[in-house]
Chain A
Amino acid sequence: MIKLLDVTKVYPRTGAALEGVNLHVPKGEFLFLTGHSGSGKSTTLRLIHMAEQPTSGEVRVSGFSSLRTSRREVWKVRRRVGFVFQDFRLLPGRDAMGNVAFALEVTGTPKKEIRPRAQRLLSQVGLSVKGRSQAHELSGGEQQRVAIARALASEPLVLLADEPTGNLDDRATRGILDLVWELNALGMAVVMATHDLELVRSYPSARVIELDQGRLVYDSSQAEGKE
């Protein structure tokens, strides 16, 4: 469903962030993207989200190719690909419900359906009673749950998560991972960038790949038993 074909990304000043990366993420997979800081994890996620174009090579997401998808059409890709960040990126001045409703509204949900669907999404992430809380009144873990609910608004095929637990304590981290694991069990693929190897080890059935200086140096699906 997601394919990176010999993808290289070069930034003008900092040089190659990714070099010759090949990767296939099938439907429904849970994938940890690991590597040191600066190894290219975020760049990989941004390329899949088509926020950027590869310098060479091709990114394919659910039938869309980076070579043929114009800026005008990127929104179609975005609706199939949810995205959450380390710093949540919730809109201040809106409550939890408002943040989820905003995503539904701008992706063309009929007005009457917005509130009930936002309510359903909030309960899906375990926040049914916190709908009226402003972002700053929520804990980090709760904010990330709102962000996940927002990412689910367009019923994506895959959730991209860039260090989603980077700002969270152990308990909240567990909570988020359990939630994402549950969503994955319902059929949604997950690609989670993290440098927390302990966290990765506690989900041994997930696929793990490692980037090092922009190169894919390890893939658990191709190196069974080796670590």
Chain B
Amino acid sequence: MANAIREAASAFKRSPLLMGLSTLMVGLALFVMGLFSLATHNLRLALATIEERVEVVAYLREDTRQVDLDAAIETLQTLPGVEEVRYFSKAEALERAIRDLPEIAEVSTDLEVNPFPASLEVSFLPEGRTAEAVEAVAAIAEGFPVVEDVRYGREWVERLFFLRRIGGFTALILGGAFATVATLIIATAIRIAVFARREEIFVMRLVGARDSLIWRPFLLEGAATGLLGGALAILLTWLTYQAVFHFLFALDWIPMSWAWGGVGIGILFGVLASNLAVRRYLKEV
């Protein structure tokens, strides 16, 4: 370990610009991953809350007869996954709207008629909150003549999942681009390092040093780059988190195991990239 630190330090002394750049690129690649992790983690928390609220809302026609309504309620209640079916009258709907948006109160006093429709709200048992169950209930609700329109929370859930996929895709592309640049820079740094030490390498081979002894310092250099890049990424992600938290909205910090995982990926990446470069450039000296 002390050896590794000494090697890394001497590598930085030899070519500070290249080592700095490769560290920065590894850092940026992991930072993109860090941002994605931050988003994913918070989205996941948000989804968990939203999922609790998954429900199908069926808006009712104005001219609903009580018998038809009772029949609809009764049918919905027997469907699999359904926890409860509640009726909200037009008046209750207006009340709720005013509670959420007080401005409506001023407008509504001027209104001749209440614009909010009555509705049935179907909530689900925890094990019933699957896309299939919700869609089945929504489809059946839509079929009732008393029902004007059906909305359900799954749409939102799916939209969020879609957002998450787009986010993941973007992170992959961006992270991949930075990782590629990082690989190229690491390879250049290793090439220079190999060249700078070509006489030592020559003598090592001459007197019969094991190959592993010859390339270990270069792999350590790669590992050090990955480690520092990982640390940089954690720092950048944390600063972003702080900024968002203070200036935009409250969010959760990613689990520390993810952060350590990111550093691990950085080290692994550094070692792999330098391994590739070493294989190639040791042949040239």
Contacts and interface: CB of A to CB of B under 8 A. Distances in A.
A76 B205 CA distance: 11
A203 B208 CA distance: 30
B200 interface: yes
Interface residues of A, number: 23
Contact of B207 (A51, A76, A154): A154
Contacts of B208: 74-79, 107, 154
B252 interface: no
Contact of B209 (A72, A77, A107): A107
A123 to B, nearest CB: 19
Contacts of A72: 211
A189 interface: no
B206 A75 contact: no
A88 B210 CA distance: 22
Given A91-B199, A91-B200, A78 B206 contact: yes
A74 B211 CA distance: 9
Given A91-B199, A91-B200, A78 B211 contact: no
A71 B211 CA distance: 9
Interface in A56-90: 71-72, 74-79, 82-83, 89
Contacts of A78: 205-208
Interface string A88-116: 01011000000000110011100000000
A75 B210 contact: yes
A102 B199 CA distance: 12
12 contacts: A75-B205, A75-B209, A76-B208, A78-B208, A79-B208, A83-B206, A89-B206, A106-B209, A106-B213, A107-B207, A151-B207, A154-B208
